[in-house]
Structure 1
Amino acid sequence: MSSIPVIDFQKYGLHIEKVESVPREALKELGDQMCKALQNIGFCYLKNHGVPDAQLKHVLEYSKKFFSQPLEEKVKCAKPDEGYDGWIGLEKENLNLERPVGDYKETYNITPTCEIWPTNMPEFENVLMDFLKKCIDLALRVFDVISVGLNLEDKNFFRNCHKLIGQRGNVTALRSLFYPAIPMEKEIKEGQVRCGEHSDYGTLTLLFQDLVGGLEVKTRDGDYIPATPISSTIVVNIGDMMQRWTADKLIATKHRVLIPNEEPIKRQSRQSAALFVVPDSFSVITCLDDSEKYPPITCIDYLYGKFYEKF
């Protein structure tokens, strides 16, 4: 598969109030499509998912307002070394350790129990928390579809392994990402990119892009192809833990955001918002096919090994 398929989520989107009313046959159809995409390229687009465009617009607007503040304001919300929530500054994160310098981006991380908020932007918390809750609701529905697509008897299998989302004991997080425009006078360091090549750590990622573009996805042939923004769609991919859980049936694909070569695009900022979903901290990741291809490991132990080496 050399392109990223678009899947119509109309039959199970957030506009469907009662998930129990959706027959398993409909979930199976969606699950087969999604698992085929996640098996072949690790990514897909979702349309008719139920997250309003207007809500995403507000998230990006308020996020840009925060990121556009002077450094002395943003640093008041800096992420603690041992925490998950808060602002991470330009070049502070390096997602590909083979690259010599940090990524040319800023982020604001938010878990459902976040207590770090800009005091000069009281509306920021409500806008992002409302969006986070909606994204979590959608992610749980995507898990139902994947469970059925994998022919698991219990369609709630993955949902049940993430039941502490929104509470202590699960570090699922929303990241608002900001890639600043490159000033004319700015000299980019050798090897620097906006976001280094990496695969995600968790089970599922929902990515909302603006229309600037720049995300690239690695195919099984080793080539990077653009994940071109499509209006009103979400980019969905899985992470390393889901690949491990499925004994490599589904793949966690590397992706990146380079610094554009084209002059007009280089002078534009880029934004996205991503929900990075992980299981409950003490959920045990064991190969679903009983192959024991990977030894069992708890979510929190896996994250400690993967997450902190990147900072």
Structure 2
Amino acid sequence: MKKIIALLAAAILTAGLFSCGRTSTKTKELNDLQKELLAAEGLPTEADELTDSQLRSIQRIYKMITYLNEKYDEEFIYGGYLEPAANQMETLYAYPRLLGADYGRNTVTVRATKDGFTDDYSDRSIVDYAEKMANDFMKDYFKSDQVIAFFSVNACDIEKNEVVDGDFQWKLGVSDIIFVNEDICNAEQVEEFAVNYAKWLYEHELSGDHRINILQQYDVTNITYGEIADMYDTDYYKGYFNFGFDSDKKNVLQSEHLRGERALNDYSIDEFFSKYK
């Protein structure tokens, strides 16, 4: 039996399945997957025992999952569903079985449109590609594996096959969370690394928000995506340096919390880049 993993709060996950409505008189047969999902939520597994809203939701969930399975020729696992409402698009959350949920990192979003469905699964491959490029750059920069970056997508208007020589054409925006061991990059060294990383990002036309976290006496290779938030509350955490380009790519907005002090700065691109050669 497939393992059902919740990707959203339970109240949202089951909003569609628990909607009120009169009991349906329809007797359409439910398949094994539909019955499994209903049973996992403590709902009846016979169509004629469901309300109209519940029956419609489980039918739509199956249709949207099938859309993913057939489009990408692989199996996707149900994660959550939002039924259509006045200010809410009908949305399904799922993840590919081969990759696993990875604490929600591999979540795929499917939305209903007037012509069928759209999804963001293809965005994941280009984000993985950008993440690997950045990690390779950082490990080469420090000549060490004690640095790791985790990418998530903010906006994407480019496919992987459109990336030429590592140029993302400012069509991919990411949030990257970087952890670096204090042994190779301390509070006095992090700005220099940030400037060189910013130059690399600018060269590859990759936009977004970039946070560099310094850890002491901790092997950063052991960190997983699901543990990111937890690291900020440990004794290993020493502070952060954050930066990002503005929308015109003319300025760098920078903030930090290092050595117990906070700072917020706004630099021109040239000013920021000229800090270190």
Same fold (TM over 0.5): no
By relative contact order (CA 8 Å, sep 6+), the higher-ranking structure is 1
Structure having the higher strand fraction is 2
